[in-house]
Amino acid sequence: MDTLSIRVQQRNKDMTQLLKKFLVIQKNPYDDELNPNGVCNCGVAENYLCENELISKLQSIQIWKTNYMYYPYPSGQKSLRQTLCNFFQRTFQLNYELDPDRMMISSGLTGIISLLGYLIGDMDDVFLISSPYYTAFDHDIAAFSNCAIFRCPLLEQDSGKFIFSVEIYKRGYEEAINQGLQPRGIIILNPNNPIGDIYDEQTIQPILEFAAQKKLHVIIDEIYALSIFENQKPFQSILNYKSIIDP
Q: pLDDT digit string (tens) for 30-49?
A: 989 999 999 988 877 777 88
Q: How far is CA 147 from the centre of its chain?
A: 16
Helix (H) or strand (E) holding 174: helix 166-178
**pLDDT score at 119:** 94
CB 225 within 8 A of CB 237: yes
152 strand-pairing partners:
130
d(C-alpha 232, C-alpha 149), whole Å:
29
Q: How far apart are CA 138 and CA 145, in angstroms?
A: 12
- Write out residues in the chain with pLDDT < 50, as ranges: none
The per-residue pLDDT for 243 is 77
What kind and span of H or E run contains 237?
A: none
Q: What pLDDT is recorded for position 101? A: 94
The ranges assigned to domains in the chain are: 73-102, 109-231
Long-range contacts of 143-149 (CB under 8 A, 24+ apart): 143/11, 143/114, 143/117, 143/118, 144/114, 144/115, 144/117, 144/118, 145/114, 145/117, 145/118, 145/120, 145/121, 146/7, 147/117, 147/121, 147/122, 147/123, 147/184, 148/124, 149/187
Rounded to whole angstroms, the Cα distance separating 72 from 21 reads 38
Q: Domain 109-231, CATH 3.40.640.10 — does that match? A: yes
**Is 165 within 8 Å of 200 (Cβ atoms)?**
no
Look at residue 1 in the predicted model and tell me its pLDDT. Answer: 66
At residue 90, the pLDDT reads 95
Residue 224 CA to residue 222 CA, distance in Å, equals: 5
The pLDDT value given to residue 125:
96
